[in-house]
Amino acid sequence: MLVTPEGHVHPTIGAQLPINAAGFYIHSAIHKARPEIQAIGHCHSVHGKAWSAFGRPVDITNQDSCMFYDNLAVYKSFGGIVLAAEEGARIAAAMGPKNRCAILQNHGLLTVGDTVDEVAYLFSALDKQCQVQLMQEAAEANGIKKTVIDDEDAKFTAATIQHPTAIFFSFQGEVGLIAEREPECLK
């Protein structure tokens, strides 16, 4: 659906459904702070919610997690359901001028990008990394030490896998699987 900057559903373009007020406050604040952003995704996924309770970024422990190297904010000020523009503005400020991914403490995950494909891929990758992080934390609690990738190697890997073209092509396999399983989702 298309929504005006004031939060009104456009009268003739897009779905004519009521909007989610909390979503509007978050999305509109990010679009205002980061006008280059074209798409935003936010959800309360199981692994994202579980990891968000720690209020910590994911560790850079594998190649896929390098997607979040210097690209992940943690918003630590959970104030309940977002029902005010100020809370959306604080989330946007916490993301800063360049991060495309965020963990909202005690809430869920949020990703932004140039395309819906980029947002979906980043969200899926962050949710999977939250699951990996939870497994690593459980193993570490049982005495198995994990190794974090050093900054130089993480930065080198991130320079490749964070590129929008790499993200686009990485997501196309998933789009193909979705099209096979649920073709109506892509209409």
Tokens 């604080």 -> residue? 90
pLDDT tens column, 40-80: 999 999 999 999 999 999 999 999 999 999 999 999 987 76
Contact (Cβ atoms closer than 8 angstroms) between residue 118 and residue 29: no
What percent of the chain is modeled with pLDDT above 70?
95
pLDDT tens column, 116-130: 889 999 999 999 999
The listed CATH number (3.90.550.10, 3.40.225.10, 3.90.79.10, 3.20.20.70) that belongs to domain 21-186: 3.40.225.10
pTM, 2 dp: 0.87
Q: Kindly report the backbone phi and psi dihedral angles of residue 147, in degrees, each rounded to the nearest multiple of 5, phi listed first.
A: -115, 125
Distance (Å, rounded) from C-alpha 160 to C-alpha 26?
29
Retrieve residue 80's tokens.
């309940």
What percent of the chain is modeled with pLDDT above 90?
63
What are the domain boundaries of the chain?
21-186
Q: At what angle do helices 85-95 and 21-33 cross, to 10 degrees?
A: 40
Distance (Å, rounded) from C-alpha 85 to C-alpha 32?
11
pLDDT tens column, 128-182: 999 999 999 999 999 999 999 999 999 999 999 998 888 888 888 777 777 788 7
pLDDT category of residue 111 using cuts at 50, 70 and 90? very high
